[in-house]
Amino acid sequence: PIQIKMDEDNTNWNIGPSVFRINGKIYMTWTGRIFEFYGVHTQNLNIARMVNPYTLDLSTHAVICEPTESWEKHGATYDGREKNLPEVVEGATAVYGPNGEVWCIYSASGYWTDNYALAQLRYKGGDPCNINNWEKSPQPIFTQNTYVYGPGHASYTTGHDGTRYFIYHGYQASGRVGGRYIYVEDYTIQGNNVKLGQGTPERPS
């Protein structure tokens, strides 16, 4: 194991790595937290190119997403306590289109709220380690509905018949009642966007 340290005392931690393949090169994304005792905490999405499957080139490191929108800030607290809760973007995962398109689907807002949701960054071309080459969706692309509350932290796969699926966790009732469940729904690529689900997830009985 290799610890990724973004500052000397490792105050600002890094979690949740994922691998992206873009233009024949491999990159790693991860969530980093900027920690302030008496200010706003933020979690950001980071990226760096990988020299090989176990080594990062940290000279290429960049932040590609920060919690700038109101829908990325649900659950954050700013009351001056030591344990303020952060504004959250996290869990960046790649989705690939049929013609070489790349999207970064991430979770936004606190997982401890009903407003935890999935949002999209669209890769526009150029250097992936440049925030200007990613376009953020103006709104989250998958949010709470009558079946699930606080959906997020998804993974993506393809069935034997070519159907695309995303697997995520969420609550069956508002207010985190009953704990989290794993859900599965299909998704599609529609133009420049990823469309997640039909609002009718399958869930365990």
**pLDDT value of position 128:** 98
**pLDDT value of position 205:** 42
Q: What is the pTM of this model?
A: 0.90
Gap between the Cα atoms of 28 and 56, Å rounded: 8
Q: Which residue has the tokens 């709220």?
A: 113
**pLDDT value of position 104:** 98
Give Cβ neighbours of residue 150 (< 8 Å, ≥ 6 apart): 111, 113, 114, 115, 116, 117, 144, 170, 171, 176, 180
> Quick count: other Cβ atoms within 10 Å of Cβ 95?
19
**130-178 pLDDT per residue, tens:** 999 999 999 999 999 888 999 999 999 999 999 999 999 999 889 887 7
> Quick count: other Cβ atoms within 10 Å of Cβ 146?
7
Which portions of the chain are predicted below pLDDT 50?
Answer: 204-205
**pLDDT value of position 40:** 66
